[in-house]
Chain A
Amino acid sequence: MKLTWKIWVLVFALAFAAMSVLNIPIMYNILLGILIISILATLSFVQEKSTRIFLLILTGVAILAIIFFTAQQGVVISSVTVDSTAFNEGLKKGMIITAINGNAIKSTEDYSSQISSLFPTANKTKLQVQTTTGNFIFLTNETPAISVSSISKTNLKTGLDLSGGARAMIRPVNLTLSSSEMADLISITSSRLNTFGISDVNVRSVSDLAGNNFVLIEVAGLTTDELKDLVGQQGKFEAKIGNETVFIGGEKDIASVCRTDATCAGIRECLPSSDGSYYCSFSFTIYLSPLAAERHALITNNLSVNSTDENGTLFAGGGKYLSERLNLIVDDKLVDTLLISEGLKGSSTTQISISGSGTGATKEDAYNAAKANMKKLQTILITGSLPYKLEIVKLDSASPVLGKEFTKNIIYLGLIVFAIVSTLLFIKYRKIKITLAVILTMFSEALITLGIAALIKWNLDAPSIAGIIAGMGTGVNDQIVIIDESISEEQENLKDKIKRAFFIIVGAFFTIIAAMLPLFWAGAGLLRGFALTTIIGVTVGILITRPAFGDIIKRIQE
């Protein structure tokens, strides 16, 4: 069987798809591409059957070898806490760690065992992090504030429902945002998630057919409650003395916030309450901008110094404090109220200690609650507030455990469908060549669709995969039309028969495109994946695999 240009197109498309799907170093990727192209080409020129089968097996083995031996070793950084030592030293999300202090890191287990053998430690130790992009050496006594995950063998990304994670759709209450306001909302939302140290954040604006705009947030490893707290709130922070605002959240008033350094931020104490639950308090230092410090001086200057509180009780330890307290308010709710010591009266202090608390049924719960509250407070102090209230219109979370089970089952199902379709085709046509040609085409369509999905970094959710399968289904339909037309005994030449088959196929192609197109806009694009993979699948079919299949069938028939 000689290769026509149409079959060449298919061969090249297959090679590129395989290159796009596999996450392997570029050199190996190019090698893989060349290998697939050359072997498929040789296959078609070699007439002897046993040689062909041998070549086919060789291709399979070569591909598998490439997958197994070239999968990158190391772990990938999935997130770095902003302003942490690791962050300041230049470690970034997406870098691949290959060794720590000279010890090779091959898995996330290696990483955790290395790190836990080094930290926590009292004295600063040297940490040498070797990555594929360079070496980072720093002295530290704290666990690097990064999280790592294993490197994926493919470039395919699965959607929230299959990989697990949380998703929220938010919009301002009773307000339509201009595109620049929308961009602000997205950047504040993203920076809140970033300062919180969350990996795999995806924040984007979506709109629907009714003209509504939303911000869609997808993250891994957060509960819906946490996500709701982080992105659903306006985040209006005010520090007030009496009725006067001393400073608010955001970079205008707050120069910096101490977050990871244990000497200026952390949980201070945990005590049992009278009802048996626990209560933990936290505090951290913030540094005010000169402007806000000036305001503090002005306001406190007018206050009197007292040695008793509002109820006339003497302050503990005989301290003296100002007549008004500093009230910390988040979204119009009082979070904490602090006494101001007399020494701060009229001073343009820049350093202020912010405190708060968390409660829980057990000491651990209370500790975690306090820690979460501290993080939240720090986040809104850094990012500032939004000029409007937000509402959460959709809030989903998916379990990664269940997602894994689903993914596994979908792969099984795909294999079973493949087997069933191949069997039916063989039973009907009783020709191994025709059956193989259809199987090759089905496989090509799936692989090329996945390759395109990997290339455009599309998150494949369950409906997207259903779309790929349905696309393969229409593909099989088309191939049945081609086969039936070509083997018919009409007194026409084969070319005309194939031409008529293509009229049917093109018609079916346009109807499915027409039918799926509206899904791109309806429902804020949440079902876009379903439409997209179907459309990619049928387009790959009509442009690449179907013409090649037509030629293959012509060769088989001749």
Chain B
Amino acid sequence: MSEEKIESNNIEKSHEQHHASHTNGKLNLFKNFDYNKWYKFMFIIPLLFLLLSVFYIGLTYSRTGDFILKDVSLSGGTSITIHGDFDYAKLESELKTQYEDISFKKLSDISSGKQIAFIVESSAEPEPLKASIENILGTTLTTENSSTEFSGPALSSSFYKQLIFALLISFILMSIVIFILFRTFIPSMAVIFSAFADIVMPLAVINYFGIRLSTAGIAAFLMLIGYSVDTDILLTTRALKKKGGTLNHRIFGAFKTGIFMTSTALFAVLPAFFIVTGLPDSFRQIFLILALGLSADIINTWLTNASIIKWYCEKHDIK
């Protein structure tokens, strides 16, 4: 009974007791909960989330003609980052009247409350946009007080296509590795399905909040494919290959290890949003997507994947 050890440092307990009768705090939740009865229904919750996500991404597609909202690095245009003490409210309102497709991002340091940078993005060429900003702020943009990024429209759309292609290849390669690892169809498919949901759910959330993805953002999705299957591999290995203990014990043991893994990772990425926020945009996007993906992974692994593997084991008499 591996799973009790960690929790039981200060609680006396007998090892031979049935798991449902433990008085341990965490296990209490499961005391009156019959996993054997409910696991098939637990599958429905993430499925609903997934359908909702797919629907929302479809909605984005029908509105914008694409599955994601692209920033200038993927759609072509200019992004100018200005830092220094300027009247950004004025800049924002005046630029809005001059350019149709313009968007703004603020970057401030949360601990000091100090604004670090102001980012202006538009499909315009860099020269006119820079001139407009200089005009409004009444200052010259130098290499010291500003950063500029310009991507030609042809290049960015080519980058976008390539990154989506890379995402596809990445997913296929991951699937191949999973099939080689487990060599059984349903458990492998369960992992792959869970990884798919790990990508779709964060994407829907990002679309919902109107966040425009950059090249680094798509790269983060590739990483998510590799990163999020950790817990699924853990679950599947423990359920299928571990000797001793009942299936429920093994799943629950994997859950305790896996949830600690995921929550540690989540706690590790959260400071980027609450403690040290003055970070490059590429960095922030990577962390944001990892955070959303890890959150989605919790339900996808422990509800979707666990339900499928449990059903599979019951059916194949793996106890």
| Residue ranges of A at the interface with B (Cβ–Cβ < 8 Å) | 161-162, 164, 166, 169, 208-210, 212, 221-224, 391-402, 405-406, 409-410, 412-413, 416-417, 420-421, 424-425, 428-430, 461-463, 465-467, 469-470, 473-474, 476-477, 480-481, 484, 487-492, 500, 503-504, 507-508, 510-519, 521-524, 526-527, 530-531, 534
Taken residue by residue from 232 to 262, chain B's Cβ proximity to chain A (1 for < 8 Å, 0 otherwise) reads as 0110010001111100000001001100110
The number of residues on chain B lying at the interface, defined by a beta carbon within 8 Å of a beta carbon of chain A, is 86
Cross-chain contact of B268 among A164, A166, A420 (Cβ < 8 A)? A420
A-B pairs with beta carbons under 8 Å apart, 29 shown: A162-B280, A210-B162, A393-B151, A394-B151, A394-B155, A399-B146, A399-B147, A400-B143, A409-B109, A413-B272, A462-B283, A463-B283, A465-B283, A466-B216, A466-B283, A473-B268, A488-B5, A489-B1, A489-B15, A490-B244, A500-B242, A504-B237, A507-B233, A508-B229, A511-B178, A514-B170, A515-B170, A516-B170, A518-B169
Cβ distance B114 to chain A, nearest Cβ, rounded Å: 10
Q: A394-B152, A488-B253 are in contact. List 12 more A-B contacts (CB 8 A).
A: A395-B126, A395-B150, A405-B116, A417-B268, A480-B260, A500-B237, A507-B233, A508-B229, A515-B226, A516-B223, A516-B226, A522-B163
Contact B177 A224 (CB under 8 A): no
Please, which residues of chain A bring their CB within 8 A of the CB of B142?
223
Q: A396, B174: Cβ atoms under 8 Å?
A: no
B275 at the interface (CB under 8 A from A): yes
Bound together, the chains give a CA A515 to CA B196 distance in angstroms of 13
**Cβ contacts under 8 Å, A465 to chain B:** 283
Q: State A222–B253 Cα separation when bound (angstroms).
A: 57
Q: Which of B84-107 contact A (CB under 8 A)?
A: none
Closest to B230 in A: A508
B244 x A400 contact (CB < 8 A): no
Flag if B279 contacts A224 (CB, 8 Å): no
Inter-subunit contact A500/B148 (CB<8 Å):
no
Residues on the B chain within 8 Å of A518, using CB: 165-167, 169-170, 173, 222
Chain B residues, Cβ within 8 Å of A221: 143
Q: Are A399 and B143 in contact (CB under 8 A)?
A: yes
Contact indicator A476/B271 (Cβ below 8 Å): no
Instruction: Answer yes or no: B9 CB below 8 A from chain A CBs.
Output: yes
* Bound complex: CA A398 to CA B148 (Å): 6
Given that A398-B147, A428-B260 are contacting pairs, would A513 and B226 also be in contact in the complex, using a CB cutoff of 8 Å?
Answer: yes
A521: which B residues are within 8 A, CB to CB? 162, 166
Q: Is the CB of A463 within 8 A of B286?
A: yes
**Contact of A522 (CB < 8 Å), options: B126, B162, B271:** B162
- By the criterion CB–CB under 8 Å, are B223 and A507 in contact? no
> In the complex, which residues of chain A have a beta carbon less than 8 angstroms from the beta carbon of B225?
511, 515
A393 and B126 within 8 A (CB): no
- In the complex, the answer to whether B230 meets A413 with C-beta atoms within 8 Å is no
Q: Flag if A164 contacts B159 (CB, 8 Å).
A: no
Interface pairs A-B: 7 shortest CB-CB: A488-B2, A515-B226, A512-B226, A514-B173, A518-B166, A522-B166, A462-B280
Interface flags for B176-197 (1: CB within 8 Å of A; 0: not) read 1110010000000000000000
Smallest beta-carbon distance B196→chain A, Å: 13
Which of chain B's residues has its CB closest to A513's CB?
B226
Question: Inside 8 A of B146's CB, which chain A residues have their CB?
Answer: 397, 399
How far apart sit A531 and B225, CA to CA, in the bound complex (Å)? 13
Determine the chain B residues whose CB is within 8 A of the CB of A489 once the complex forms.
1-2, 4-5, 15
Bound complex: CA of A519 vs CA of B154, how far in Å?
A: 20
Docked-complex contact A463 and B173, CB < 8 angstroms: no
Answer yes or no: B295 CB below 8 A from chain A CBs: no
Choice from A392, A393, A406, A421 contacting B264 with Cβ under 8 Å: A421
The smallest beta-carbon distance between A539 and chain B, in angstroms, is 13
Complex: how many Å from CA A503 to CA B245?
19
- A396: which of B6, B150, B154, B178 is its contact (CB, 8 Å)? B150
Give chain B interface residues in 265-289, CB to chain A under 8 Å: 265, 267-269, 271-272, 275-276, 278-280, 282-283, 286-287
Residue of A nearest to B181 (CB): A507
Given contacts A410-B279, A429-B6, A515-B223, contact A484 B257 (CB under 8 A): yes
Interface hub of A412, A477, A515 (most chain B Cβ within 10 A)? A515
B226 A514 Cβ-Cβ under 8 A = yes
**How far, in Å, is A505 (CB) from chain B's closest CB?**
9
- The answer to whether A523 and B162 touch (CB under 8 A), given A413-B279, A491-B244, is yes
Closest beta carbon of chain B to A541's beta carbon, Å = 12
Q: How far is the CB of B175 from chain A (nearest CB, A)?
A: 9
Q: How far is the CA of A77 from the CA of B117 in the complex (A)?
A: 32
Question: How distant is the Cα of A409 from the Cα of B110 in the complex, in angstroms?
Answer: 12
Q: Does B145 belong to the interface (CB within 8 Å)?
A: yes
Query: Please, which residues of chain A bring their CB within 8 A of the CB of B245?
Result: 490
User: In the complex, how many angstroms separate the beta carbon of A169 from the nearest chain B beta carbon?
Assistant: 7
The residue on A at minimum CB distance from B15 is A489
Is B234 a contact of A463 with CB atoms below 8 Å? Answer: no
Select B219's contact among A406, A510, A519, beta carbons within 8 Å.
Answer: A519
B158 within 8 A of A: yes
- B222 contacts A519, C-beta separation under 8 Å: yes
Q: Which of B6, B162, B166, B226 contacts A511 (CB 8 A)?
A: B226
Of the candidates B152, B220, B272, B283, which one forms a contact with A392 in the assembled complex, judged by CB atoms under 8 Å apart? B152
Contacts of B275 in A (CB 8 A): 413, 416
Chain A residues with Cβ below 8 Å from B268 are 417, 420-421, 469, 473, 476
A490 touches B2 (CB 8 A): yes
Given A463-B286, A473-B265, A524-B159, residue A511 in contact with residue B147 (CB < 8 A): no
Check B261–A477 contact: CB distance below 8 A.
yes
B189 → chain A closest CB, angstroms: 15
**Contact of B134 with A by CB under 8 A:** no
For residue A211, give the distance in angstroms from its CB to the closest CB of chain B: 10
B149 at the A interface (CB under 8 A): yes
Best-surrounded residue of A392, A394, A474, A476 (most CB of chain B within 10 A): A394
B166 engages A530 (CB within 8 Å): no
Nearest B residue to A473, CB-CB: B265
B165 touching A522, Cβ below 8 Å: yes
- Taking a contact as CB atoms closer than 8 A, the residue among A428, A429, A526 that contacts B215 in the complex is A526
Find the B residue at minimum CB distance from A424: B264
Name A476's contact: one of B126, B222, B243, B265 (CB within 8 Å): B265
Whether B143 lies near A409 (C-beta < 8 A) is no
Q: Are B278 and A409 in contact (CB under 8 A)?
A: yes
Per a CB cutoff under 8 Å, which of B143, B154, B234, B271 touches A397? B143
Shortest C-beta distance, A128 to chain B (Å), equals 34
Task: Give Cα A421–Cα B269 distance, bound, in whole angstroms.
Answer: 10
B212 within 8 A of A: no
- Complex Cα spacing A410 to B277, Å: 9
What separation, in Å, do the CA atoms of A222 and B216 have in the docked complex?
A: 25
